[in-house]
Amino acid sequence: MAFKARLNFSGKEYQVLHYANVFNLDVDLFGSSYSITHGANINIRSGENLD
C-alpha cells in the first residue's frame, strides 16, 4: 500500500520512506488479552531534509 507521510523532527521536515511498529500485549492460553499494551518498537526510515 502506498502512502505519503512527512516527519517533523526538531523543526525540520523529512519524507518518510518506511514505517513499522510493534506493540506488546500479554495473552492467556485462550488468546484473550489480560494486560494493557506495554512496550513499543517504532521504526521510521526517512529521506533527505525537505526544508
Predicted pLDDT of residue 37? 82
Q: How many domains does the chain have?
A: 1
> Per the domain annotation, does 27 fall within a domain?
yes
Name 21's Cβ contacts closer than 8 Å, sequence gap at least 6.
Answer: 40, 41, 42, 43
Whether 36 maps to a domain, the answer reads: yes
Within a domain: 6:
no
Q: Which domain holds residue 32?
A: 11-45
Q: CA-to-CA distance for 39 and 23, rounded, in angstroms?
A: 6
Q: Is residue 4 one of the residues assigned to a domain?
A: no
- pLDDT of the residue at 1: 62
The beta strand positions in the chain, using DSSP E, are 6-9, 12-24, 38-49
Q: What is the pLDDT of residue 51?
A: 64
Residue with cell 495473552: 27
The pLDDT tens digits of the residues spanning 1-51 come to: 677 888 898 998 998 888 899 988 888 889 888 888 888 888 988 887 766
The predicted structure's pLDDT at residue 31 = 82
